[in-house]
């Protein structure tokens, strides 16, 4: 049985560090980190996530603002709110909850956010910075995964890493972050031929596909480090990852569970990104 990476504990450690950093910033500079979250529509999963962000802000001592808009909100109204938040000195981080209603262009909205307040790391300036190794902010889930790996004492240099999934939110930035740590990286997706042969070579396997229990034991190398990003709701209401946990855990050296693995890290890293944005504002 591999070592289970406890995302809840590591996320709590990070929130404790952020709370300490926020207190120091308040005492030394008189600045309280501020995060504004904008939610359009009534998607239940998004509402739960926004609630968790507000709770995390309270825990670490941040100013938290929420804008809950009806699903029929026009794009120009949302752009107006973002423009106002861009100019608000009390707001250091702006996050527009995705997905947005279909009549609103996600690309237009993300591009309207000041890159210096783009704590989600999705603005083209930050995406480009990630490619060149100079981002202001790294997307929260991939950054959280790198923290899980680092704080578990895992060395990435020279390892063969395989990322299954090519989304802009997880897969692509994950590959770039692994590459920056001198791993040899392969990206897989729905068109990959003989997926099991590719994943079976991985020293580090990151599964971000969105299909429950897709990664089986016969697809995993003995002693591999397995990071499960998937969060899938089964018919019985339980959460399941993209990895068949029990059978894969028997082969892996390290593995993240679902829930309690990658999930808690996303909001923890959002708090860390917001603190960094507030610190940068001192010199801007």
Segment 89-127, tens digit of pLDDT:
999 999 999 999 999 999 999 999 999 999 999 999 999
Q: How far apart are CA 63 and CA 36, in angstroms?
A: 8
Residue 280 lies in a domain: no
Does 154 lie in the same domain as 239?
yes
Task: Determine contact, residues 163/188, Cβ cutoff 8 Å.
Answer: yes
Q: Which residues are catalytic?
A: 53, 97, 120
Is 180 among the domain residues? yes
Structural domain harbouring 46 = 28-114
Domain contains 35:
yes
Residue 284 has pLDDT above 70, yes or no: no
Do 144 and 105 lie in a common domain?
A: no
What does DSSP assign to residue 50?
Answer: H
Q: Which two tokens stand for residue 41?
A: 């529509």
State what percent of residues in the chain have pLDDT above 70: 100
Do 65 and 154 have their domain in common? no
102 & 192 share domain: no
Instruction: Flag whether pLDDT at 166 surpasses 90.
Output: yes
**What's the pLDDT at 239?**
87
Looking at the structure of the chain, the number of domains it has is 2
Q: How far is CA 49 from CA 28, 31, 52, 157, 266, in A?
A: 32, 26, 5, 34, 10
DSSP 8-state code for residue 215: B
- In a domain, residue 221? The reply is yes
**259 and 210 share one domain:** yes
The 10 Å CB-count burial string (b at 16+, else e) for 254-266 is bbbbbebbbbbbb
């Amino acid at each position: 049985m591999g070592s289970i990476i406890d995302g809840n504990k590591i996320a709590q450690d990070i929130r404790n560090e952020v709370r300490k950093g926020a207190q120091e910033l308040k005492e030394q500079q008189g600045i309280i980190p501020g995060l504004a979250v904008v939610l359009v529509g009534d998607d239940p999963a998004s509402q739960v996530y926004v609630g968790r962000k507000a709770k995390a802000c309270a825990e670490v001592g941040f100013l938290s603002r929420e804008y809950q808009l009806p699903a029929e909100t026009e794009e120009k109204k949302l752009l107006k709110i973002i423009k106002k938040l861009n100019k608000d000195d009390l707001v250091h981080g702006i996050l527009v909850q995705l997905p947005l209603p279909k009549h609103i262009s996600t690309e237009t909205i993300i591009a309207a956010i000041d890159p210096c307040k783009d704590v989600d790391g999705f603005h083209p300036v930050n995406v480009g910075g990630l490619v060149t190794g100079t981002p202001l902010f790294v997307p929260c889930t991939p950054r959280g995964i790198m923290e899980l790996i680092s704080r578990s004492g895992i060395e990435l240099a020279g390892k063969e890493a395989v990322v299954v999934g090519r989304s802009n939110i997880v897969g692509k930035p994950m590959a770039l972050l692994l590459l920056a740590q001198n791993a040899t990286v392969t990206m897989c997706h729905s068109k990959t031929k003989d997926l099991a042969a590719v994943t079976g070579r991985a020293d580090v396997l990151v599964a971000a596909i969105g299909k429950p229990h897709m990664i089986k034991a016969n697809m995993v190398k003995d002693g591999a480090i397995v990071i499960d990003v998937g969060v899938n709701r089964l018919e019985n209401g339980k959460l399941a990852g993209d990895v068949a946990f029990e059978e894969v855990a028997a082969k892996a050296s390290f593995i993240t569970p679902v829930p309690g693995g990658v999930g808690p890290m996303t909001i923890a890293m959002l708090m860390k990104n917001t603190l960094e944005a507030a610190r940068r504002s001192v010199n801007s």
